[in-house]
Structure 1
Amino acid sequence: MRRGRLFVLSGPSGVGKSTVLQRIRVRCPQLWYSVSATTRTQRPGERPGVDYFFVTAQEFAELIERQELLEYAQFAGNYYGTPQGPVEERLAAGTDVLLEIEVQGARQVRSSPRLGAEAVLVFLAPPSFEELARRLIGRGTEDEQTQERRLTAARAELAAEAEFDHTIVNTDVDAAVDGLIRLLAES
């Protein structure tokens, strides 16, 4: 049996990772999509265990201490991380896995002695920084201070694009989804 392939989708906050992932899930049900743990507050419409595992800061610290996370990062004052066990189980069973994570987390996956060499890192880029700022502010899910932190972080994350194996520019969601599906099929 072939081992599954590990794909990592990353990019700055507001670039449309979640939207692209939602559409990929419909079109590629054979992929397994990891659910991240986070300490951030649940947003309207999000479902625990489906969109994220919402945990306390103490619970997250315990996951780190027990080395149960493939990657984790602090972003905009909150922690995000990928539970390691389920990812490794799916890969061993021959199922392809797609992670949607922040740039810091993608770097950790790349440097992982267990999975880094096999991971295919995909950077989802905005058409411009101005468009990214418009999208982020237009979500209306965060206060102005949080938006500013995310925009500052986005500048640094955009500079990390060269660290990734592939880049897809999200000018149009459907085109970005098509590009990612082609990449998944070719890798």
Structure 2
Amino acid sequence: MGKIFYIMGKSASGKDTIYKELIEKMPQFHSIVPYTTRPMREGEKDGVEYFFVNQERFDEMMDEEKIIEFRSYNTKCGIWTYFTADDGQIELWQYDYLVIGTIESYYALKEYFGDDVMVPLYIEVEDGLRLSRALERERAQTKPQYAELCRRFLADAEDFSEENLERAGIKRRFQNIDKETCMEEILREINVNL
């Protein structure tokens, strides 16, 4: 039976960068590409970070009972839905997976696949540094959405509260102050759980 190594962390914690580098270093891992109804950001590619779909396609997949879990956010830019689908890309009898997502989706996948399959990899960064990184990333956008950046920052404080981390069973945190050190620690954790 395969494992799902699940990377999560607050926005601008570096989880996307770590995820991409882990996929390069460990090509034996398969990915589970989530879906979203939000607009694609500059530099993103459909089917890589997310499958970008409209609300109508989400509703169709819901009617077809293909949705494992979903979260909808009332953002400054409208309602955005993120979800994981049972669309044929998950074959635990054959592969191990590296996934990136939210703590809510981690709970749902843990419930769907079982505790013995899920391995949480929680990336943590001090809030001041994280806010600075988020602001730098947003400034690089053609149309920066600073209000949404602030909403995400505040929502993360609640989503990743100590109570929620404990409820998720997260016992280990990976500090992303220095990316290389963080990567080495995550790779050790993955190898222990394979």
TM value normalised by structure 2:
0.85
The alpha carbon displacement at 1:74 in A equals 2.3
2:145 counterpart residue number = 143
How many residues of Structure 1 are paired with residues of Structure 2 in the alignment?
181
Shift of 1:134: 1.1
Change (3 A) 1:136 1:105: same
The ranges of structure 1 where at least 4 consecutive aligned residues each deviate by more than 4 angstroms after the TM superposition are none
Deviations 1:39-92 (A, max 9, x none): 111111111112211000121222233331333222444211222243532x11
5+ residue gaps, structure 1 = none
Counterparts of 1:64 and 1:178 in 2: how far apart (Å)?
39
Q: CA deviation at 1:138?
A: 1.4
Structure 2: which 5+ runs fail to align? Answer: none
The offset of 1:165, in angstroms, is: 4.1
1:66 corresponds in structure 2 to: 64
2:178 maps to 1:176: no
Structure 1 match to 2:2:
4
Q: Distance in 2 between matches of 1:165 and 1:120?
A: 11
For 1:84, the aligned partner's letter is D
Identical positions, percent: 22
1:99 equivalenced with 2:103 (yes/no): no
Cα distance in 1, alignment partners of residues 188 and 51 from structure 2:
30
| 3-state DSSP of counterpart to 2:42 | coil
- Report the TM-score when normalising by structure 1: 0.88
**CA–CA distance in 1 between the matches of 2:119 and 2:31?**
15
162, 168, 191: which one aligns with 1:185: 191
